[in-house]
Structure 1
């Protein structure tokens, strides 16, 4: 493999790189660069009676020489580096810089480019990633979890054709959702959780072909989009924001892919759609600490893969469905801080095993329940669910449970 050589001349505290901008400071008596063999040779002037030192840097590939000044400029922007990470960011061997990884690009298997960056846990501080991330044309993975980066995300990231994993979680980014992400056709993994983004999330985000979407722990405020299930997503995490409104029935469109759903700690309201029972791949479904109400749909008894169900801290009522308690892989069923009034023998068995938590409900004969007055006050204000009878529909075959056909159940009725 041919190596690309370029000379760096340090003149008047200015780096001169190859054919890039030349800044000479006091240039009296200086001669212009002469080119020999395709490599520029810089003839430096004598400044203050001293001859500037010349350092030769040899790069494995021309592409690496082009990202070198971008990295060095970013290094100069870093205001805090408690772990001394950037001490390794010197010299021409960029592939050995801590956090930087090289590989062959898809368009040229003989080339060497900067392909991925992993800054996870480096605790670096910088006012922005602009002029850095968006200027790395061959980057495929960018992970920067747990740093102190601030600012907004440049719209230029839409010009990164190979970027398929973007993780900027647990930083201090702010502003609106970076809409340039919508134009990133290669993106399959997006993690922007634990930042300070505000406003709404474009509905188009849920039509992208993502495997994982983590936007939890920001300040997004909007109604849950009706097209929530339009993507073949595996992990959907919207927790700890200010999403409101009901969980859309459209979520069932993701029935063949969705394995983990986190809606906890939002302002969701309304009743659970029975279509949740169609999410046959779901392992975790968490909608705790919202304002959801109505019964728990019997259809959840069809979630044969589910291990964790959390509906604690809502306003659910009625009987805890035995068909849900009978789920074979269920390890944690959290229904505390609701208004359930009855549990059957299968559910009582889960209580004894520590799998089912029904504290602070309205179930006679069980310890740690709400007061009679508190329960009476809640039930004095009727709450209504559309197609109430559909909550007793079981859309799968279960040997010990059955339900009437759905068509006979789809009639609006109060709780």
Structure 2
């Protein structure tokens, strides 16, 4: 008996071994794939990877069995590759078709790299594949239809690539698929109805594409679906009712499409598990269904920017889990005084954090119950409605408010003192109402306020001195009121102040000299007041000033010579004052000045030429009858060349001049009265320039501004973030840096940039206009910086253009390179020596230097910056002291590699390498540099005799062509002195060598750079 059982077991075991042998033989015979094939396929993949910054694939060689290579996993049974995980290694290149030979693959994860070109169609051989992620790469072309052969696929994520064309309908055959991520690509055409066959589908995101047409009703068959995101496409028509019947749905996002129709009246009864509903920026109309209050699990609801009408459901308080509600941008309201009843109901929502009801048609008195909203509330906007009554004193109960906006309503009464108790408030906007009385002195307790806008009201009295307590204030707008008295001295000198708007009040006295302390001031408007005295010379310290409007006051004296230091000024309006003397010639030398108004003053002498004075439409000197000369368009008489003889009848001239002056002043007064009446009649804009610039920016706005974070708008990509070009508002071009929060250290980098740039501003630093820290439509954390857009890209793109044959080929002249080097030196000098706390950049390189319209250089990317508190002998950073070791190879100072602390000497070293690169055209990591031979030694060996042999060939050609052009030019034209040019180049490279010395003590001081480079520029200009 036992013997029989043993024989049966051995027979069964033999059969299993035979089947296994047949299977292995069949696989090998059919496909010809073996362990050796897998190794060859992996090596073929490595061959097409052009960049491996972390040397991650160094283990991929014959010295180690391939199953032990980084990112490679093999099965125990066949020792074939079953998993290829190369995520987040910053690899660049194309993906070899030989990947199709890895037929045992179950997992492929290539996410967060820089792979490009097409994704190989050989993917169809992966019939065992279960997980495929290509997210955040640059794969192009159409999505291979062979993906449909991967019948065991469960997870497919292609987010953030450049895939084009239609979504293959064959994907509907992947019956086991649970997660589908096709968001942020360039897919076009309609959504395939076949996707309704994916009965196991749990999450699907097709957001941020160019899909159009209707939403297929077949998607209503996805009964297991809990997440559907079709945000930001071009879908139209009505939402199929079948979708509103998928009871398992947790998140539903159709925002920013062209969908229309009414929302189903029973929507709240059909989606019991819904937590997130995003239908904003569509064309939905009709009333908001009353059944919406039955979404007992609802956390976020966004119906903004549609055409919804009628009353807001009065019992929204039934949504007790609600955290965010946004009904803004809809003509909601019932044209009666009870439109705001819903606010009382919302007091039941104890988790409420954000309330958005802006640009509606809501009427009625602001209820006292608003003060009983959740104490977790940090965002409340009822802006641009028809709300009346007083602001409740009890508003102080909302102690966690960060943002409060009642602007653009019809509120009356006085500003409550109790607002001063909202200690966490950062933005307060109550402009364009009918508020009267004084500004409470308690407002000075809002020490963390960033922006305060009380413009266009009936406020009176003086500006409270307590407002000078605002140590972080960036924008103050008090224009279009009835304020009187003087401008508080300390308020005018707040260092963080970017915009100060006090126009159209009754302010008197002088402009405080403390204004010079506002070194970051960008806009100052004090027009149409009664200010007097001379313009303070200290204004020269406001080197960031771009817009200065002092029109319609009683300022006297001359234009201070210190104005010549306002190199950033673009708009200067001094009209209708009592200024006298000659118009300074230096105004024509201010490089950015594009509008100048000096009309109706008492200037005399010759009108200068040059700069703004060459464009008649860009400046005005009307009403200054003692002026002469200038361009022909002014039609002024010529200036006298010599003094007249003593016999000239001066008394007659004086009499006639006096009569003319009297008539002119009379005419000016009449014009001024007419102008003021017209101004008051037309009324001020509801949104000031400052308010427009610093309005809160949401995730949806940034997505819309960048075309859904489209890869076509990428202008830079680094380890911790991707930079997109975008348009905010109607025409404001910006750069949006989106941080890769999946990357370790990205969050710290975000905080480093915020901390570094919070209190520093300079014309040669990239300006951060705003930041955004929120969650995206998938519920993931999202952080971004909004920066000014630099149309000429990075210095990197100019120094290392891909091809001289390409249409966008760019080259910098010698003088342009010197000017850029000077700009960077000025930025470093500011960071090291002129900030209250020293800032060390830690990652200075060409890709972090951006160029504006005029090729003025701006230093950016402060993700590795350290703030040194020199006075305390301490340093602050978001990371350890070794953070700078993770700077860019080739630019990092030698001492950092040996554990040295970050210091200004490290930036000087990076600047020295940058100088050498700018004028030789060679990267510090060029393949020619090996061992001890580097860029520094390469330049040092060539100086001074062989300088022309080592400079950038493009620069050398440019110099030679310039010399030839001058030789062949008109007779008498000055020829270029090649000897002087060589001398200049040698001097610049010597500066680079002195900066990039190995020992920190041997390096130059950053403060010496600008003067050295200016000397060189002067020599060059005389050559």
TM-score (normalised: structure 2): 0.29
Helix, strand or coil: the match of 1:116? strand
Candidates 111, 115, 121, aligned match of 1:145: 111
Helix, strand or coil: the match of 2:249? coil
Contact 1:350 1:356 in 2 (8 A): no
Cα distance in 1 for partners of 2:328, 2:319 equals 13
Contact 1:274 1:298 in 2 (8 A): no
Aligned to 2:186: 219
Helix, strand or coil: the match of 2:298? coil
Aligned to 1:360: 329
Write out aligned runs for 1:3-152 (5 A): 63-90=34-61, 91-104=63-76, 110-131=77-98, 133-152=99-118
Cα distance in 1 for partners of 2:85, 2:183 equals 21
Bigger drift between 167-176 and 223-232 goes to 223-232
How far did residue 66 of structure 1 move?
3.2
Cα distance in 2 for partners of 1:142, 1:352 equals 39
Contact 2:67 2:79 in 1 (8 A): no
Aligned to 2:162: 196
Gaps of 5+ in 2: 1-32, 334-338, 341-356, 363-1023
Cα distance in 2 for partners of 1:95, 1:305 equals 45
Cα distance in 2 for partners of 1:298, 1:117 equals 50
How far did residue 228 of structure 1 move?
3.5
Aligned to 2:293: 325
Aligned to 1:345: 314
Contact 1:277 1:299 in 2 (8 A): no
Contact 2:37 2:101 in 1 (8 A): no
Structure 1 pair 82/251, CA: closer, same or farther in 2 (3 Å)?
A: same
Gaps of 5+ in 1: 1-61, 105-109, 373-415
Structure showing greater relative contact order (alpha-carbon pairs closer than 8 Å, 6 or more residues apart): 1
Contact 2:294 2:319 in 1 (8 A): no
Contact 2:296 2:318 in 1 (8 A): no
Cα distance in 1 for partners of 2:291, 2:327 equals 16
Cα distance in 1 for partners of 2:245, 2:322 equals 27
What's the Cα RMSD here?
A: 2.4
Say which one has the larger Rg.
Answer: 2
Aligned to 2:243: 276
* 1:248 pairs with 2:223: no
Aligned to 2:121: 155
Cα distance in 2 for partners of 1:310, 1:359 equals 13
Cα distance in 1 for partners of 2:128, 2:38 equals 16
Cα distance in 2 for partners of 1:351, 1:360 equals 24
Aligned to 1:263: 230
Helix, strand or coil: the match of 1:280? coil
Cα distance in 2 for partners of 1:164, 1:116 equals 10
Candidates 369, 374, 384, aligned match of 2:359: 369
Structure 1 pair 352/278, CA: closer, same or farther in 2 (3 Å)?
A: closer
Structure 1 pair 75/224, CA: closer, same or farther in 2 (3 Å)?
A: closer
Cα distance in 2 for partners of 1:369, 1:78 equals 52
* 1:173 pairs with 2:139: yes
For residues 79-129 of structure 1, the C-alpha deviation after alignment (integer angstroms, 9 at most, x for no partner) is 11112211122323222211111223xxxxx33221101111111012233
Write out aligned runs for 1:199-210 (5 A): 199-209=165-175, 210=177
Cα distance in 1 for partners of 2:288, 2:316 equals 7
TM-score (normalised: structure 1): 0.69
How far did residue 146 of structure 1 move?
0.9
Cα distance in 1 for partners of 2:242, 2:265 equals 10
Greater share of residues in strand = 1
Cα distance in 1 for partners of 2:52, 2:282 equals 44
Cα distance in 1 for partners of 2:192, 2:128 equals 28
Aligned to 1:239: 207
How far did residue 351 of structure 1 move?
11
Structure 1 pair 282/311, CA: closer, same or farther in 2 (3 Å)?
A: same
How far did residue 361 of structure 1 move?
0.8
Greater share of residues in helix = 2
How far did residue 308 of structure 1 move?
0.5
Helix, strand or coil: the match of 2:315? helix
